[in-house]
Amino acid sequence: MGPVSDTSTETPAAPWWRDAVIYQVYPRSFADADGDGLGDLPGITARLPHLADLGVDAVWLSPVYPSPQKDAGYDVADYRGIEPVFGTLADFEALSARAHELDLRVIMDLVPNHTSADHVWFRQALAAAPGSPERARYVFRDGRGEDGVLPPNSWRSVFGGSAWTRVTEPDGTPGQWYLHLFDASQPDLDWSNPEVHEEFADVLRFWLDRGVDGFRVDVAHGLIKAEGLPDWDHDQALLNGSTASGERPPMWDQEGVHEIYREWRRVLDSYEGERILVAEAWVTPPERLARYVRGDEMHQAFNFDYLRAPWRAGELKQVVDATLQAHEVVGAPATWVLSNHDVVRHASRLGYPAGDEPASGVGPDDPQPDAELGLRRARAATVFMLALPGGAYVYQGEELGLPEVTTLPAEVRQDPAFARTGGEDRGRDGCRVPIPWEGEAPSYGFGPGSASWLPQPPEWARLSVAAQTGVPGSTLELYRQVLALRREHAMGRGALEWDEELTGGDVLAFRTRGVLVVLNLSARPVPAPAGSRVLLASADLVDGAVPTDTAAWFAPS
């Protein structure tokens, strides 16, 4: 097959985001300046040079707004401020100024599907009567059955249990129900209400006025619910855009969401510079996802099909091709991602047999990953990913090869999904453990003392930034090298052309920007092509060949 995508105009003026590498900072676990065990904005600011040295283009901050932290900040009580535990608006401005000085853009996390139950709107809604304008900002409904004792429909929360909670009316009687696709502390907003639109357009302006370069949009496929809220009895564990049989759930990927993003795009386009919107939309197939990045909507969408692809050449190739083709149709760059704060870190996920990679958390009593195999594959996966055309996302700590912490005891786990399912869903805490910077003793430089909101395993001392800096072959140095070469060769602006001779039998090989990229998932070594020299490899070549579970970049010699 010929080139399937050219993601750039090849001019130096091509917008920065089309091939950007965006680094996700999970603020509570990145760096803790004040030593309370929870990361904060001054901590992030002080560590920004690490990100500049790493060679990424932008920083995306998971939510830092005032929040009771019932879902680690994805429960926002005030969209125009900073959570005091993380700092102040002045701290944010200092972070943003320092980032821009270092040539790093700053992306905020916008959470428009739901507010926190502590948001003033929700408090007003609880205090107001059924049918009031205050309730109309959320999805309040009367219950079914006698006296409305049953929830209005059969929807399940993504975190387990019913998606409805019944309120007690101000007069003390059992009352209406409100919808929450996530935790009960995260009531869904009603996006058919113009007031909600006005509020979020204003929130966008608030942060755009403060110089932010864009927004990652949480649950971007969930804002509009199907008319009449019809029952949906399928499992809700995954945020899937459709079932295997192709039925679209009434709460995901509804047509109406696109009008919201067109509205927001107009707001962003009224500002100078290239400010971006990035969809967190768990939507398949790629043609559905690509609808979020049509010319007048968002700029990028996370490619979760890629993240979830099993470690098999055929499936990986299929996802790459389908992604590039679908994005090409709408003229948007593809994106690639392997880890984030919601999934098992890829250094552990890939340590399971291909096809058995766990979707969500792992507990101490579950089958454990093969750590060595996982890291080897993770390095190969990253070297392959960062050669693909388009943008890419890196989750904090993956540049250290951090594994998922699978052994967290139940009593320290904080993900609401763990509690709401009685521990059946192990939750996402294992990928959120604070990262090690230096030193031998906890918190390994995360904070000034030993405090850390989740315990760090003792093995993390040797995985710290300091322990890996300047060490040839360390995962950190591999990331630095691959990001530098990616920039040098403008790999993200390339067009991908499969090498038909080398591709096949669990081997993938493509050319882009004059570089040949080989990923060997087969049991046999793949000899380096004649007349080529190695630019980079995720593991040492053996007798001039790319060994199993290794990726390498070659240039003509």
Catalytic residues: 218, 280
**The binder of ligand NOJ chosen from 107, 217, 219, 338 (CB under 6 A):** 219
Closest approach, Cβ 307 to ligand NOJ, in A, equals 12
Contacts to ligand NOJ from residues 105-134, by CB under 6 A: 111
Give the type of residue at 175.
Answer: G
Closest approach, Cβ 8 to ligand NOJ, in A, equals 29
Does 182 help bind ligand NOJ (rule: CB under 6 A)? yes
Strand order in the sheet with 550-556: 497-498, 507-512, 515-520, 550-556, 532-537
The phi-psi region of residue 74 (left if phi > 0; otherwise alpha if psi is between -120 and 50; otherwise beta) is alpha
In the complex with ligand NOJ, which residue's Cβ is closer, 74 or 191? 74
β-sheet bridge partners, residue 550:
520
Closest approach, Cβ 181 to ligand NOJ, in A, equals 8
Closest approach, Cβ 176 to ligand NOJ, in A, equals 23
Query: Measured between alpha carbons, how far is 555 from 557 in angstroms, rounded to an integer?
Result: 6
Query: Measured between alpha carbons, how far is 142 from 277 in angstroms, rounded to an integer?
Result: 36
In the complex with ligand NOJ, which residue's Cβ is closer, 78 or 497? 78
Contact assessment for residue 432 and residue 454, using Cβ atoms and an 8 Å cutoff: yes
Does 218 help bind ligand NOJ (rule: CB under 6 A)? yes
One character per residue 486-515, x = contact with ligand NOJ (rule: CB under 6 A): ------------------------------
Closest approach, Cβ 71 to ligand NOJ, in A, equals 5
Q: Among all residues, whose Cβ is closest to ligand NOJ?
A: 74
**The binder of ligand NOJ chosen from 19, 342, 404, 429 (CB under 6 A):** 342
Contact assessment for residue 364 and residue 50, using Cβ atoms and an 8 Å cutoff: no
Closest approach, Cβ 219 to ligand NOJ, in A, equals 5
Closest approach, Cβ 354 to ligand NOJ, in A, equals 26
DSSP states of 441-501: STTTTSSSSS--SSPPPGGGGGGSHHHHTT-TT-HHHHHHHHHHHHHHTTGGG---EE-TT
DSSP states of 226-244: -TT-----S--SS--SS-T
Query: Measured between alpha carbons, how far is 76 from 251 in angstroms, rounded to an integer?
Result: 21
Structure tokens at 204: 């966008």
In the complex with ligand NOJ, which residue's Cβ is closer, 393 or 554? 393
Instruction: Give the DSSP letter of residue 402.
Output: P
Size of the site for ligand NOJ (CB under 6 A): 9
One character per residue 222-251, x = contact with ligand NOJ (rule: CB under 6 A): ------------------------------
Q: What share of the chain is helix, strand, coil (3-state, %, to 5)?
A: 30, 15, 55
DSSP states of 377-391: HHHHHHHHHTTSSSE
CA atoms within 13 A on the CB side of 554: 23
The secondary structure of 176-193, three-state, reads EEEECCCCCCCCEECCCC
**The binder of ligand NOJ chosen from 40, 71, 253, 425 (CB under 6 A):** 71
Does 425 help bind ligand NOJ (rule: CB under 6 A)? no
- Residues near ligand NOJ (CB under 6 A): 71, 74, 111, 182, 218-219, 280, 341-342
